[in-house]
Amino acid sequence: MPLLIVPPKLAETCHGSAEAEAWLVALPETVADLAGRWSLTLGPPFAEEASCSWVAPCVTQDGAAAVIKLGMPHMEARDEIHALRFWDGDAAVRILQADVGLNAMLLERCEPGAPLREEPEPEQDVVVAGLLRRLWRVPADPHMFRHLSEMTAWWGDEAMVDASKWVDPGLTREGIRLMNELASDGPHQALLATDLHAGNVLRATREPWLAIDPKPFVGDTAYDATQHLLNCDERLRADPNGTTRRFADLLEVDHERVRLWLFARAAVHSRCDVHTPDSLVRRLAP
């Protein structure tokens, strides 16, 4: 079996987690098994963005271009396969084959595949908002998707483990409280992507742009504005009100809920910029 290339970011992410390290040790055998089972010819893995999964271009037996993806054990991304099947290629990349037990999937390849982040941020706003509004559908009961409150509770527990490192304990506690409060309600509930930003949108042929790498939860649609906005850090710091309102209007969600979500996330994940003059969490504070 040829030596499997593991991107450095992926190896770093797996370090320190017994479950992830065991997954990484088994990865060469798992990839070889899937390549044989699905009759794939593999190329070298994508390395730039690969921090939580092993992803590589491939060609199927009939000559079609595709992508193979194996996700490491990760709480947020557990139901990615189910979400892609639910959306069935509508605004998101289409799933061709999957092994749920291995969290492995064969995906259509986006070509030419350039990421949306290469475009100006105001254009990114329009594209991301358009994709999110199409993805926001309510799955019929019963369904397997977890509620957003499970993810916010998990983040809160993770933050509590690091309580001794909090720069501003009062601010972080308020962020945890508000994050859980916002997750418990919301005027509009749907299946969320939760991690849709310009790096997870690729130029394609079947549609101009397609979303990849969802971390699906059912919950408040206003939450889904946060990941893109937090990736527009400089613009958000320069004009938090205007930037938040513009994107919220494109999404047709309450801009104040978006601002509160942004503040809560920034407060919970804040590290060293809390007391700086342009502190994002201070600028977003209610």
> pLDDT (tens digit, 9 = 90+) per residue, 4-55?
999 999 999 999 899 999 999 999 999 999 999 999 999 999 987 778 999 9
C-alpha to C-alpha distance for 211 and 30, rounded to whole angstroms: 26
Clarify whether residues 32 and 153 are in a common domain: no
Helical packing angle, 255-269 and 169-183, nearest 10°: 140
Same domain, 143 and 236: yes
SS3 content of the chain, % helix, strand, coil (to 5): 50, 15, 35
Residues forming beta bridges with residue 217, ordered by sequence position: 192
Say how many domains are in the chain: 2
Q: Residue 175 sits in which domain range?
A: 116-284
Residues 85 and 166 in one domain: no
Say whether both 138 and 248 belong to one domain. Answer: yes
Q: What is the pLDDT of residues 164-203, one digit of tens each?
A: 888 888 889 999 999 999 999 888 999 999 999 999 999 9
Is 85 within the bounds of a domain? Answer: yes
Instruction: Tally the residues of the chain.
Output: 286
Supply φ then ψ for residue 204, to 5 degrees. Answer: -135, 175
What positions carry a catalytic annotation?
Answer: 195
One domain for residues 271 and 130: yes
For residue range 131-166, list pLDDT tens digits in order: 999 999 999 999 999 999 999 999 999 999 988 888
| Average pLDDT over all residues of the chain | 94
What residues have CB less than 8 Å from 237, skipping those under 6 apart?
Answer: 278, 280, 283
- Compute how many other C-beta atoms are within 10 angstroms of the C-beta atom of residue 272: 8
Backbone angles phi, psi at 19, to 5 degrees: -65, -45
> What one-letter code names the amino acid at 134?
R
Do the Cβ atoms of 102 and 30 come closer than 8 Å?
Answer: yes
Helices (H), 15-61: 18-37
